[in-house]
Amino acid sequence: MSTENEGNEVPPAPSAPPVPVESPAASADRAAPPAAPDPATPAPAAQSAAPGQEPAAHQAPPHAGTTAGTPPHASGAGAWPPPPPPTVPSYAQGGGSGWGSSYAAQHPEGSKPAGRRGGLIAAVLVAALVAGGVGGGIGFWAADRNDNSTGSTTVSASNTPADLKRDPGTVADIASTALPSVVTIEAQGGNGEGGTGTGFVYDKQGHILTNNHVVASAADGGKLAATFSDGKKYDAEVVGRAEGYDVAVIKLKNPPSNLKPLPLGNSDKVAVGDSTIAIGAPFGLSNTVTTGIVSAKDRPVTSSDGASSKSSYMSALQTDASINPGNSGGPLLDAGGAVIGINSAIKPAESGGGLGGGGGQSGSIGLGFAIPVNQAKYVAQQLIKNGQAVYPVIGASVALQENTGGATISREGASGSQAVTPNGPADKAGLKPGDVITKLDDTVIDSGPTLIGQIWTHKPGDTVEITYKRDGKEHTTDVVLGQRKGES
């Protein structure tokens, strides 16, 4: 069994450019959305981050066992429009600490964005996690105008929007069904700092499925609360966390008796181009619904919350549905309203800039990533039953550098241990230090993180075919995956 070391930086990698989100057909004259750009076009370097403003580049371990595996105002009396009111909504406040606090209040400025490089879209993407406090620089003003001097006559529509019937299967119908089962999570650490994220009802016993990085700050002596779309708020506690998978389960204290779990779909059956619906609390704006499509599958993504030396690895669903800080842990739904993924990370814009042009964490550029629900369900069952996750392993440490043409088994393991665990799965299959793994079954492996993410889509005991190179010659061997319990 291998472990992870600290030291080497996981280099950023390109991914596909954003695809415009779906917009509802309001009339027959509405123009169709623009065509999606070529997904092979390189994107700016990604950043790894915790909730908030522009994050620092993520530092990852050098060796990782595959165990982880106002509008302008007129002046003068009677001017129109009137000046904005003296206050803005509570969610527009950018400073302070505690739940919904901005990242800038939690982290020093001066972080440097990760570097940029070109390459194939199959390369690993280092993404920014999207749990977050309320971003600064958001505000609005509103005024009622009482002007009866006009002689114009208006004609009312026969039905108001609230009276219109939403056909089954429309976005409005799916959203109205799903929203009561989605919660906004407020996590507060012992130091008073925290942020907001999202989760959804997993079962009738009060378990809520979300991301580890959403609740990590409250895991040890902190506070958790979950608020439903009707405004009812419940205290909650952490049941279990899987840092490597970035999955967590929390449970409501004194849950209501009428909980309705969201139906879970089959992420293995998802196809590129399928419609998606994301629900969450971007920048603290709870119960936000956005739409898009599945832009890609099996996208290797490495992410970190910036507060831990360990990283999360996923073979993610990519979507262009707008996902922003605060969406983390929320459901990604298919056109039938079933959960196909947990929204977890985004590729942020290099220039940063929060919602409304403020200085908060950068938002969606159409590159969002979700943990496939089949994997999340498997992990959730382990967390509920045992309080910890079980990771499949090959029993070998691999280097995390990119541009290696595969996952290279390290010459030395963590803390000077052997890179290939004696009598472990890799050892039994004949793998040795220096071997370069290029394929796992039919999946091309271009780096260590890609290998880890692919292994973690399996279960302990599964047999996988490994293709590797040694001394310039290609070989194949079958590996029966072992296991590692917990986050060691």
C-beta of residue 426 within 8 angstroms of C-beta of residue 395: yes
C-beta of residue 202 within 8 angstroms of C-beta of residue 250: no
Burial class (CB in 10 A: 0-12, 13-18, 19+), 415: exposed
CA dihedral 197, 200, 203, 206 (to 10 degrees): 40
The terminus-to-terminus CA distance of the chain in angstroms comes to 10
| Residue 78 to residue 177: CA distance in whole angstroms | 46
215 contacts: CB under 8 Å, gap ≥ 6: 185, 187, 197, 224, 238, 241, 248, 250
C-beta of residue 178 within 8 angstroms of C-beta of residue 330: no
Respond yes or no: is residue 246 known to be catalytic: yes
H/E element holding 380? Answer: helix 373-386
Choose among 361, 356, 363: nearest CA to 137.
356
Residue type, 135: G
153 contacts: CB under 8 Å, gap ≥ 6: none
Token pair, residue 144, equals 């009622």
H/E element holding 379? Answer: helix 373-386
CB count in 10 Å sphere of residue 404:
16
Choose among 45, 169, 51: nearest CA to 106.
51
| Options 328, 344, 397, 410, the catalytic residue | 328
Pairing of strands 125-129, 288-304: parallel
Angstrom CA distances, 413 to 333, 426, 429, 470, stand at 40, 13, 18, 19
CB count in 10 Å sphere of residue 140:
11
Token pair, residue 471, equals 């001394």
Token pair, residue 352, equals 């940063």
- β-strand partners of 291: 277
| Residue 380 to residue 192: CA distance in whole angstroms | 28
Pairing of strands 288-304, 312-319: antiparallel
Respond yes or no: is residue 309 known to be catalytic: no
Respond yes or no: is residue 235 known to be catalytic: no
Token pair, residue 84, equals 């904005």
| Options 2, 207, 246, 410, the catalytic residue | 246
| Options 15, 101, 213, 315, the catalytic residue | 213
Dihedral of alpha carbons 238, 331, 309, 418, sign? positive
Catalytic residues: 213, 246, 328
